[in-house]
Structure 1
Amino acid sequence: MIEPSKEKKRVGRDAPHKAAFDPNGPIGRKLKSFYDVIETEPVPDRILDLLGKLDEAEEKAKRGS
């Protein structure tokens, strides 16, 4: 059983937890800056080749059905 005094301490720890998921907080801003850098990088040729093969396989499957 949790003592009431210990329960109050737990509730106090929830505030930083909620702040960590704030998209405008420091963690959210840092993640956005990482995403912005990655977003501007070109797609590797290997990935484009794989996507092309997937498109071809999907077209063949549609024609076969």
Structure 2
Amino acid sequence: MDLCSGRMDLCSERMDLCSGRMDLCSGRMDLCSGRMDLCSGRMDLCSERMDLCSERMDLCSERMGLSA
């Protein structure tokens, strides 16, 4: 019985450690998802700028063709 209760104590300590790590992990996951949202927002802005840039390049090449 003493061995069993000793193992139960060890097991409960490990469970506490495990839940602590789970909390840390979920905190990091929240941080990570926040960064992912920021990153995707920046990616959207970047693609919009790329589209604008390509439109300007097209306009510029048309003007160059007209002036030539």
TM norm. shorter chain > 0.5 = no
Compare the two structures and name the one with the higher helix fraction.
Answer: 2
Structure number with greater CO (CA < 8 Å, separation at least 6) is 1
The structure with the largest alpha-carbon Rg is 2
Shorter-chain-normalised TM-score: which range? 0.3 to 0.5
Could you tell me the TM-score, scaled by structure 2's length? 0.40
How high is the TM-score relative to the length of structure 1?
A: 0.41
